[in-house]
Amino acid sequence: MLSLKMSLNNVLMSLSNVFIFILVCCSYMVQNVASDDYGTALTKSLLFFEGQRSGVLPKNQRLNWRGDSAVKDGQDVGMDLVGGYYDAGDNLKLGFPMAYTITMLSWSVIEFKDKLASKNELDNALYAIKWGTDFLIKAHPQPNVLYGENGDPDSDHQCWQRPEDMGTPRTSYKIDEQHPGSDLAAETAAAFASASIVFQSADSKYASTLLTHAQQLFDFANSHQGIYHESIPPAAKIYSSSGYKDELLWAAAWLHRATNLKQYLDYIGNSGDNGGVRSMFSWDDKYVGAQVLIAKLVLEGKVESSGIWAQYKANAEQFICSCLQKSNQNIQKTPGGLLWFLPWANNQYVTSATFAMSTYSQYLSSSKASLQCSGGAVSPSDLASFVKSQVDYILGSNPQKMSYMVGYGSNYPQQVHHRGASIVSFKNDSSPVGCKDGLDKWLNRNAPNPNVLEGAVVSPDQNDGFSDNRNNYQLGEPTTTSVAPLVGVLAFLA
CA–CA gap between residue 239 and residue 88 (Å, rounded): 12
- Residues 382, 417, 418, 454: which is the catalytic one? 417
73 is catalytic: no
Cα 267 to the center of its chain, rounded Å: 27
- Residues 87, 90, 121, 317: which is the catalytic one? 90
CA–CA gap between residue 418 and residue 408 (Å, rounded): 17
CA–CA gap between residue 82 and residue 77 (Å, rounded): 12
256 is catalytic: no
437 is catalytic: no
CB 128 within 8 A of CB 43: no
Using CA of residue 192, residue 197, residue 201, residue 202, what is the dihedral sign? negative
CB 194 within 8 A of CB 162: no
| Beta strand pairing call for 371-373 and 172-175 | unpaired
CB 191 within 8 A of CB 136: yes
477 is catalytic: yes
Identify the CA nearest to 88 among candidates 464, 466, 459, 492. 459
Separation of first and last alpha carbons in the chain? 59
DSSP string, 295-317: HHHHHTTSS-SSHHHHHHHHHHH
Identify the CA nearest to 131 among candidates 50, 211, 237. 50
Using CA of residue 268, residue 273, residue 276, residue 282, what is the dihedral sign? negative
Identify the CA nearest to 217 among candidates 174, 173, 260, 275. 174
Q: Which positions are catalytic? A: 90, 417, 468, 477
